[in-house]
Structure 1
Amino acid sequence: MFAVTNIDDLVLLAVFFGQTGRNRAAAARVVAGQFLGFAAILAVSVLGALGAGLLPESAIRYLGLLPLALGLKAAWALWRGGDDEPAPAAGLWQVAAVTFANGGDNIGVYVPVFAVAGVGGMTGYIVVFLIGTAVWCALGWFLAGHPVVAKVLSRWGHLVLPVVLVGIGLVILFS
């Protein structure tokens, strides 16, 4: 789930790291910004999941409509030829802001999953997602140094996102 909802972040991280000129201090700001932005995504997702606990249990499955709608929206944008994002500057706050702003699909998927996972499951997801964020930063650094790989990922990675979001939405709806 982490990998699929963050494919676009991997491409953005490669762009951010590419802007650092391989400067380690600048790269550390990118990493810090990624963690800050992703922590905000997790905080909103946890709050949303806890709020979902106020809903009757029979209504929670309808939260699957969120990732379903996001997946259909992403597929529509793909079909229409949209989804072009400018490359922002690679400072801590810029990376954090872009990561958070780019996290709508993450929140839409994480809230219903967290809502059905309970506190223990949610904690497990958060730990795995934070480890995933570290891995993503390392991969972004790697990709920034290998433009051929970054080009392939940026060309095809966006095709996977709508399919998986629709799949996650359907699983939540029908489980």
Structure 2
Amino acid sequence: MDLGIVGQAVGLFAVTNIDDLVVLALFFAQGSDHRGSARRVVLGQYLGFAAILAVAVAAAFGATFLPGAALPYLGLLPLALGLKAAWQAWRDRRDGGTEEEDERSGGPGPLEVAAVTFANGGDNIGVYVPVFATAGIGGMSVYAVVFLALVGVWCAAGRYFATRPVVAAALARWGHVLLPLVLVAIGLLILVEGGAFGL
């Protein structure tokens, strides 16, 4: 395995996914008191990133599942999930949040995490495609293996941050506000930067 390509893959992943750490920490914190929630977050992160990789690899070979003009509209996914989370937080606060509701919510589901990961990775696809196209099949395989390994590292880091006493206390107190805000901000940023709806 070419160590040069491995180093480039590590750097590329870190630069294009730094914002995911914040979102992952919020997701882990949201489900911290619920059994199996961490597993669902990790599964969702892998599903979302695998979808990003699949689209980028296909595009590097010339196939386009998503036209470039459609990418900015991926911002609607985190925007909708953020609004849903805000509505849930408001409703729980208004109703006093019963234990039965807490059990039912149980943190984010894998498809929610995957949707946010994929939508937030629209810009990643744009960066990965030319890199993959010039790396060849062997190089692309190295990138894919390194990226998938680093998804696990990112999940571990997100969970680590979410369980640090100071961070955990802040997230426990403000997480129900921060998660919707971050998701809505990501959604709006994707929409605005991509020029969706003529923004």
TM-score (norm 2): 0.56
Identity, % of aligned positions: 62
1:29 is the counterpart of 2:40: yes
Change beyond 3 A, Cα 1:114–1:22: farther
TM-score (norm 1): 0.63
The separation in 2 between residues aligned to 1:120 and 1:94, in whole angstroms, is 32
Stretches of structure 2 lacking an aligned partner (at least 5 in a row): 1-11, 69-80, 86-106, 172-199
Partner of 2:183: none
Secondary structure at 1:51's aligned position in 2? Answer: coil
Superposed CA offset, 1:110-134 (max 9, x none): 0010000000000000000000000
1:44 aligns with one of 55, 68, 75: 55
Letter in 1 for 2:19: D
Q: CA deviation at 1:6?
A: 0.5
Partner of 1:138: 156
Q: CA deviation at 1:145?
A: 1.4
After TM superposition, the runs of 4+ consecutive aligned structure 1 residues lying more than 2 A away are 85-89, 146-151
The separation in 2 between residues aligned to 1:13 and 1:50, in whole angstroms, is 31
The separation in 1 between residues aligned to 2:16 and 2:157, in whole angstroms, is 15
1:94 aligns with one of 112, 115, 118: 112
Secondary structure at 2:32's aligned position in 1? Answer: coil
The separation in 1 between residues aligned to 2:31 and 2:132, in whole angstroms, is 35
Stretches of structure 1 lacking an aligned partner (at least 5 in a row): 53-65, 67-84, 152-175
Q: CA deviation at 1:22?
A: 4.7
Superposed CA offset, 1:70-128 (max 9, x none): xxxxxxxxxxxxxxx94856111000000001101110110010000000000000000
Letter in 2 for 1:9: D
1:128 is the counterpart of 2:139: no
The separation in 2 between residues aligned to 1:114 and 1:28, in whole angstroms, is 30
Size of the alignment, in residue pairs?
A: 124
Partner of 2:13: 2
1:112 aligns with one of 130, 134, 154: 130
Q: CA deviation at 1:23?
A: 3.5
Partner of 1:162: none
RMSD: 2.9
The separation in 1 between residues aligned to 2:139 and 2:130, in whole angstroms, is 12
Which one has a bigger Cα radius of gyration?
2
Change beyond 3 A, Cα 1:11–1:136: same
Change beyond 3 A, Cα 1:22–1:130: farther
Letter in 2 for 1:39: A
Letter in 2 for 1:36: L
The separation in 1 between residues aligned to 2:33 and 2:54, in whole angstroms, is 31
